[in-house]
Amino acid sequence: METVIILMKSLIIGGLLGFSSGAGAARMFHAPKTQGLGAFRTLGEMNACEGDPASHFSFGLGFFFNAWASAVGAGAFTQDVDHRIIPNWATAILMVKNKNVAETMHNPKKMGIAGAAVGMVLVAFLNTTVSAIPKSLQVTAVDVLVPAATILIATVMPVLFWLAAIDAGKRSGFWGTLFGGIAQLVMGNAVPGVVLGILIGKGVDEQGWTKVTKIMMAAIIALFAFSSFFRGFDLQMIEQFRMQIPEWLDKAHAIFSVGK
Amino acid sequence: MKEENVTHGFWYADWSFPIFVGIMSAAVFAGTHMYVQYGVGAFNEVAIVAMLKAGLDGGSYGAAAAFGVSFLFARILEGSLVGILDIGGAILTGIGIGIPAIFLSMGIKAPIENFTLALIVGAILGLIVGGIIILIRKFTINQSNSTFGAEVMMGAGNASGRFLGPLIILSACGASIPVGLGSVVGALLFYIWKKPIAGGAILGAMVLGAVFPIL
């Protein structure tokens, strides 16, 4: 009986997740005009498959084995279900019929429907399978895909975005370098910072220091300030500069460690 | 361009964005319910779910709450500015781990233990997050007709994607000799078929890895 309940719940969860994940991923291709829902790495990886259904499917498949192993082992699906498997498999399904990415991968409605189908099957499968998958497939997927994706996200993407920012003009090069460096320190990845640098640089290039660009600058500064605080970057920095942590700052941090 | 003409209406609009976030958040929050109830189904990495597990096992929810909520906060600001909300930090970690941890640390168990309530609470949280993002956008990006360097970012995004194929072969060769050879052969086959080599490299590596397991 419990299996039936788990199956029913999984179908609901998978359908909702798949729908929003597929539609959100398609919206990314229209960003920043349309607010997308996904991640830069998902965008990069989906572009990497160059509109070939077999590539989309096998890219998702590699992470599927990893997710399955993690679900069986620890009950955690990994973020790849949402980031990689659903968007890429939904794309693969749509592309069997139509190879034009503008009419398939970039269409939120079609991606939403295909994503819902993939999500229902995928989540139900992951939640109900108790038998383990072949260990050797798991190990290969983890050993090969994870390091490659890590290099892509940790090194290749920051460098390429950075160079693009520098080539795009003096302002975006300056702000991209500044925010990229700070983002690497605070968030552990430079890409969001470089993107914000391009945003500000190009915004100011095109319209000067208007109200809009000033608000954006303030929001970026707030973003970095809050990120450093919540990630404890401020405390680490003071420590590494061999200085004393002020008592009020320590207390402020203590307030936000809920439940300790 | 053709796709420029159809980017209106529900599927592309700003007002519908909170609905998409709401739907996804409902699913992810319910996923956390599944994990708490049945031990399987959390949409996150083992390491992050482990923080929530620490609290469930009688320890502190502090780590999960602080980690999750700080991620959510940063991603809301970032997402509205760059045009892509990062689901990993905002929804999977923020709404899926951070907020349940806060609820549980305060002794509010109902939204996590009841499936229907989990869906509703998740949807409301998502609507709020999506709404905040659209609100920030209204005061920034939408007030001007500047593209804010979108074409620069798209160019870099496309360029970085091309690196994946060679990178997979590099890491396959580091994993083991059979796996490395498999990925090279797979990539070559895909190249001859005029397909992106990343897919072939993965499949080749997995086939050889199944026959000659990595020790």
| Candidates A12, A58, A70; nearest CB to B199 | A58
Q: Of the ranges A111-115, B61-65, B123-127, which one carries the lowest mean pLDDT score?
A: B61-65
Residue B143 — pLDDT band, cuts 50, 70, 90?
Answer: low
Domain range list for chain B: 2-143, 162-208
Q: What is the pLDDT of residues A187-204, one digit of tens each?
A: 777 887 888 898 889 889
- Rounded CA-CA distance B66/B79 in Å is 20
Q: Which amino acid is at A185?
A: L
Look at A108 and B12 and tell me if their CB atoms are within 8 Å.
yes
Q: Of the ranges A8-12, A87-91, A197-201, B195-199, which one carries the lowest mean pLDDT score?
A: B195-199
- Rounded CA-CA distance B72/B55 in Å is 19
Q: Are A226 and B73 in contact (CB under 8 A)?
A: yes
ipTM of the complex, rounded to two decimals: 0.76
Q: What is the mean pLDDT of residues A2-15?
A: 91
Residue B75 — pLDDT band, cuts 50, 70, 90?
Answer: confident
pLDDT at A105 over 80: yes
State the SS3 of B119-162: HHHHHHHHHHHHHHHHHHHHHCHHHCCCCCCHHHHHHHHHHHHC
Residue B4 — pLDDT band, cuts 50, 70, 90?
Answer: very low
Look at A102 and B133 and tell me if their CB atoms are within 8 Å.
no
Residue A122: predicted pLDDT: 96
Residue A63: predicted pLDDT: 86
Q: What is the pLDDT of residues A39-65, one digit of tens each?
A: 888 888 888 887 889 989 998 998 888
End-to-end CA distance of chain B: 52
Look at A48 and B162 and tell me if their CB atoms are within 8 Å.
yes
Cβ-count burial A79-91 (b if 16+ within 10 Å, e if not): bbbbbbbbbbbbb
Q: Which amino acid is at B127?
A: L
Q: What is the pLDDT of residues A155-186, one digit of tens each?
A: 888 899 899 999 999 999 999 999 999 989 98
Residue A32: predicted pLDDT: 75
- Residue numbers in A near B198 (CB within 8 A): 48-49, 55, 59
pLDDT at B77 over 60: yes
Residue A150: predicted pLDDT: 77
Residue of A nearest to B196 (CA): A49
Residue B100: predicted pLDDT: 95
**Residues with Cβ within 8 Å of residue A244, at least 6 apart in sequence:** A238
Percentage of chain A beyond pLDDT 90 is 38
SS3 of B86, please?
Answer: strand
Residue A224: predicted pLDDT: 86
CA distance A199 to chain B (A): 5
Tell me the torsion sign for CA atoms B193, B197, B203, B206.
Answer: positive
Residue A129: predicted pLDDT: 80
Residue B146: predicted pLDDT: 64
Residue A138: predicted pLDDT: 62
Residue A15: predicted pLDDT: 96
Q: What is the mean pLDDT of residues A119-135?
A: 79
CA distance A181 to chain B (A): 16
Residue B3 — pLDDT band, cuts 50, 70, 90?
Answer: very low
Residue A259: predicted pLDDT: 43
Residue spans of beta strands (DSSP E) within chain A? 36-38
Q: Which residues are registered as beta bridge partners of A36?
A: B84
Q: Which amino acid is at B78?
A: E
State the SS3 of A27-95: HHCCCCCCCEEECHHHHHHHHHCCCCHHHHHHHHHHHHHHHHHHHHHHCECCCHHHHHHHHHHHHHHHH
Residue spans of beta strands (DSSP E) within chain B? 84-86
Domain range list for chain A: 2-133, 154-256
Q: What is the mean pLDDT of residues A142-161?
A: 81
Q: Which residues are registered as beta bridge partners of B84?
A: A36
Count Cβ–Cβ pairs < 8 Å, chain A vs chain B. 388
Mean pLDDT of chain B: 85
Report which of A80, A121, A86, A9 is spatially closest to residue B35, judged by C-alpha positions: A9
pLDDT at B1 over 50: no
Q: Are A216 and A199 in contact (CB under 8 A)?
A: yes
Tell me if the pTM is above 0.90. Answer: no
Q: Say how far residue A252 (Cα) sits from the centre of its chain.
A: 30
Q: What is the pLDDT of residues B149-159, one digit of tens each?
A: 767 877 777 78
